[in-house]
């Protein structure tokens, strides 16, 4: 009997780990509910990242970029009708083929920033995009079937993943990384399957490292957006997903790019589009400490 129990446990462990090459703290498998203790662990871990503020130097650099002629010209020339300017994955492939291009430069702004979840892109360039707003308002239709293998949260309202909203306003900005995927590669196929509910919008991003040296270097890329924000606008962040995202930004910062985490904390909003993720972490981590 004990031998059978051991075999079942080993099989279950293999299946959970095989879902994704994510560390076990993120990927615990389908139909697994996050315990209150695990939720507390993630919130307290996130709370350790919220004390750092965006430096005055970085604020000044970003203001310079926001007032630059090149950034404002790009925003003014951009059509803000998502239906007209966004495209499906198939349309993107046709568009690039006509131009004789095989590579897609994708601006990752959430879980794709984490090296465990971006399919080992050939390129990883920190950058900032203007005219879009990062919001926790994307609800997975079937949370238990998340491709990331994330657990079901114990609180039903904590199910939101990140999405972007096109605003066209220079004050709205999002930091992330430029990733390169070659059409036809296995990495691209995996990416397309995982992000199939999103549409892609052409965008210009300012390279973060150049900004830190008071230079504005713009590059072309594509960013993922979804219309689902209209139907799933209410809810709180998936706490494990938020850990996955924050760890990705922290890893970028640890490679000498100061301010990357606090910039994420101040430019990421809940579904009300007013509350920052920094404020949400502060409030919820304080609650679990007092409980």
Domains of the chain with CATH codes:
2-290 (3.10.490.10)
| pTM for the structure as a whole | 0.85
Cβ 273 vs Cβ 263: under 8 Å: no
Distance of CA 210 to the CA centre of its chain: 22
> What is the pLDDT at residue 86?
87
Burial class (CB in 10 A: 0-12, 13-18, 19+), 131: buried
Instruction: Please write the tens of the pLDDT for every residue from 63-114.
Output: 999 999 888 888 888 776 666 778 999 999 999 999 999 999 999 999 899 8
Alpha-carbon torsion, ordered 188, 190, 193, 199, to 10 deg: -40
Instruction: Please write the tens of the pLDDT for every residue from 22-59.
Output: 565 665 444 456 777 888 888 899 999 999 999 999 99
Burial class (CB in 10 A: 0-12, 13-18, 19+), 61: buried
Cβ 237 vs Cβ 136: under 8 Å: yes
Closest CA to 120 of 177, 60, 181: 181
Q: How far is CA 24 from CA 90, 116, 127, 244, in A?
A: 34, 11, 29, 11
Stronger pLDDT, 145 or 243, i.e. the higher one? 243
> What is the pLDDT at residue 7?
35
Rounded CA gap, 257 and 251, in Å?
9
Greatest mean pLDDT range, 65-79, 191-205, 272-286: 272-286
Q: Does pLDDT of 138 surpass 50?
A: yes
Residues 6+ apart with CB under 8 A from 274: none
């Amino acid at each position: 009997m004990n031998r059978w129990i051991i075999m079942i446990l080993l099989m279950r462990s293999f299946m959970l780990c095989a879902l994704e090459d994510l560390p076990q703290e993120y990927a615990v498998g389908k139909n697994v509910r996050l315990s209150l203790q695990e939720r507390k662990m993630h919130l307290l871990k996130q709370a350790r990242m919220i004390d750092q503020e965006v430096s005055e130097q970085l604020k000044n650099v970003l203001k310079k970029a926001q007032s630059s002629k090149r950034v404002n010209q790009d925003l003014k020339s951009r059509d803000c009708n998502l239906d007209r300017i966004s495209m499906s994955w198939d349309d993107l492939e046709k568009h690039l083929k006509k131009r004789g291009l095989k590579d897609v430069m994708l601006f990752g702004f959430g879980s794709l920033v984490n090296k465990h979840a971006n399919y080992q892109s050939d390129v990883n360039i920190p950058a900032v995009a203007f005219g879009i707003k990062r919001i926790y308002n994307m609800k997975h239709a079937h949370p238990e079937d998340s491709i990331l293998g994330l657990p079901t949260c114990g609180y039903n309202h904590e199910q939101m993943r990140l999405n972007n909203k096109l605003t066209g306003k220079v004050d709205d900005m999002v930091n992330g990384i430029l990733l390169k995927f070659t059409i036809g590669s296995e990495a691209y196929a995996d990416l397309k399957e995982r992000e199939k509910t999103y549409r892609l919008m052409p965008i210009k991003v300012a390279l973060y490292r150049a900004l830190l040296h008071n230079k504005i270097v713009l590059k072309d890329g594509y960013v993922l957006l979804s219309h689902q924000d209209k139907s799933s606008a209410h809810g709180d962040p998936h706490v494990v997903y938020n850990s996955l995202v924050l760890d990705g930004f922290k890893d970028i910062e640890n490679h000498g790019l100061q301010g990357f985490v606090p910039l994420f904390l101040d430019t990421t909003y809940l579904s009300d589009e007013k509350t920052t993720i920094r404020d949400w972490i502060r409030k919820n981590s304080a609650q679990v400490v007092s409980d």
